[in-house]
Structure 1
Amino acid sequence: MKDEDKTREQLLKELSELRQKIAEHELPGSPRGRTGDALMEKDERFRSLVDSAEDSIYLVDRDYRYLFMNKKHLSRLGLLGDQFMGMAFGELHSPKETKTFIEKIDRVFKTGGSGQYEYKSDRDGRFFLQTFSPVKKSDGSISAVTVVSKDISERRISEMALKESEERFRALFNQASDSIFLLKSTDEGPIIVDTNYAACSMHGYTFEELIGKPISFLEDMETSKEVREVIRRLMAGELVTYDAEHTREDGSTFPVEVSAQMIRISDRPYILAIDRDISERKRMEEELRALSLTDELTGLYNRRGLLTFAKQLFKMANRGKKGMFILYADVDNLKGINDSLGHKEGDRALVDVANVLRENYRESDIIARIGGDEFVVVPVGSTGDSTEKIRDRLKKQLEIFLEKNKREYRLSMSVGLAYYDPKKPCSIDDLLTEADELMYEQKRLKKKGGQVL
């Protein structure tokens, strides 16, 4: 009778009879008996070691029948003792898993070599790393295959989560409307190691044409000369923002606003540079200058300039469904400065405030003097920003300025912050009124001993 035709009961009976014959033959005290005892002790130590393993370990023959299972695998399959004896792999697993398992076992018997595979269990969805190794007889032929199955679910779940996170980041990276460059600093200058779709489209190059090229490849000569100074400031930990001219593949140039900072990826330093095409802004700035929309004393936009330029920002906020804050600032005690020190010193105070606002906000932000001692900045933040942080940032910039520039008076401002919500649109005049009221509320608090900006 062939082994595959034997029932489980017959196999168990034969195993029992074999054990009995060995016991009768190897009597205690005889040389063979002592050898048998030693082998049995060794076998027990081996079984104890295997049973204490955290991995599932089992042995199958050429007909895919189980010959051995450790406790870990018995527990996983819900079996006790010798229940597995004579059972085929397919009796405990799905047809799909059985088919794959048979292919792996056959490969070991055919090649005589080991193999390692990952698989996801149909039983509970967990992930395993399986190692298939041949068990060879003294003549070199293979009698069985040992399978060690290591549960790697936690690792695979972490890897899948990381991959999903990377895919989400890549999607956001490529959907950004601004050019994004990841640069590696070298002796020859920053080299492009990654970029997004917008950068390719904006400059007229393919991804492959940009990767590995120095960033100077896209910059005009004047901008390239400033790279060393930019790198120095980046290495010092600064967030560097500057305007530059970039060159397209067809040779034409266009203005960009570059924001760059040092970041670390896998503990290696890189430069992250975001370039925004400011052609439209430059065009509008020229129009504003032509229309005399600037304040003569401070060089900021005047009220007319603010209203003209802010319309475009409001349109962008509505289109992108992204809110923004507007800041309304009033110079404290300007009348007192004029009366005690003269109007020349009062004008100087206004210019100082203008310079503080320029230092604190981006060139792309609208900064305006709309009255004698009243200033407006838009936008100073967007949805999710904290008004406290916006105030603190301006306060810190003012303190830095006062430390560097000693005056006969203490320069301070009262500030109001109003939020524009695209879901509840309003006019710029309504928003200015709201910010103005909030500013006067702070001014009243100061007179009562409140915080001074």
Structure 2
Amino acid sequence: MKSKSKIYRLLFENLPDASACCQIIFNEGDTSSDCIFLEMNTAFEKMMDLKREKVIGQKASAVLSKTGESDPFWNRIYDKVTSSEEPVCFESYYEPQGRWYDVSLYKIEPDSFAVAFHDITERKQEEKARSQSEDIYRQILDNVSDVIWTTNMDMETTYVSPSVEVMLGESASEHMSKSLDQKFPPSSLEKVILIVQEEIEKEKEPGIDKKRTFLFEAEHYRADGSTLPVNMHLTFLRDNMGNISGLLGVTRDISKLKKAEKELRESEMRSKALIEAIPDLLFRVNRDGVFLEAIVKDETMLHEKARSLYRQNKLLGKTIFDALPVEIATKFMASLKKALVSGKVQLVEFSYKEKCSDHCIEARLAPIGDVEIVLIVRDITIKKRHEIELQYISYHDELTGLYNRRYYENELERLNSSREHPIAIISADLDNLKKINDSLGHNEGDHYIQAAAEVLKSSLRESDVLARIGGDEFAVILPHTTLEAGRELVERIRHQIEIYNRQNTSSPTLSISIGIAVSTSGKQPLEKIFNKADDAMYEDKKQHRK
């Protein structure tokens, strides 16, 4: 349990509730006047709209108050939290954000405490929207006291304290006039009668304690028909002879306790659900890389070495080197040591092949003090594939599969300062594309563009860069290419166009206007070289129109 609590504590450090540790500042009269922030989490930074380095070591009055003066209300809270072992909770309005927070203060040392802020703005807005009478009613419930009462042997109320009006909303006389079935729901009525009968039966036992009390929980009707969870503390009233003459009872409102218990259960369920909902693998290892604990939701995410150990219940006590290939384990251990030394979370990514499939894994190594590490392991194979696909899409033309204008312009910029001169650039433009689109439709136009892309691609070298930079425009970058070599390549393209047209007589005749220019020394930007190639292409297009 101790080790799991460490994991839970570490995981919850990243939850949205803002938290901080503070040190009280005392005046000469041993009264508190302010506090200094010692530590805080990321949520606290966001709540304060300040960076950690600007808050740590600063006085609360300087951070929370525009005037820099201490707040007497906060001073009273500082005194109370440092002098009490119990938590102190209150609500506070944070004006800069216009939000309400439930503030919990916990004693750490005599002069220091931890504070946590939970955003309750929505609840406060709901409370504000309620009617005035309901607000007053709730205030009464918040200040209820125990109700003391007595009955005779027929369970008729003979006395009830005035506090019944606060607890149940009815006067003492109204309460005394009611029968048991008007006070308790059927299940609680049965419970009360059964317990009293059992206790009366115990009176026959020799040596029974005549002063004994019996405590149980029940539901009590309120005057408005609602039920209230209560604790009932009963003992028998006796006459001078020691015989039972009635009951003396103390009824205590436990609605707050029940609410707290419910919230605690819900909190525990949320904590458990959070752990269960995390699809990642969770491990706790010591500084030597020995596995101390493992929470595995999907063993297929384990490397085959670790999976084999896990299935045999032998993973705990083994080292990272026992569970992973040497090169991966070595990388892990380096990050583990760095996390322990720095006290900061380290991120490790690695990949391996298993059953002809590539697996990409991300591991976060979060230190627990300086002796242990929590490993949070996630399979990011699909994420990596998507990244590769996105990268491909960002640099390629969807219709032709060629590089797009973005990639082409990046290459021009890169090659401007390269040593790959001479660099030739070809500008190619499809002839008659608009006519084909208008007469045969855009599908045929797309085929025409794809055919041109294939002809150009088949004519180029592997080192050449071919890109579609517009609807009917293509550009080719030819590193280490003289003007003469470039012209030879242009002729090869034209020859391939002729071959295509001979072999595809049923398709529209492919016609491409081509221009070429060369940068010999890099003195001129390649963009200007492309403009020259583009001018040459237009001259070629004029020839095609004759």
TM-score (norm 2): 0.34
* Structure ranking higher on relative contact order (CA contacts 8 Å, 6+ apart): 1
Higher strand share: 2
TM-score (norm 1): 0.39
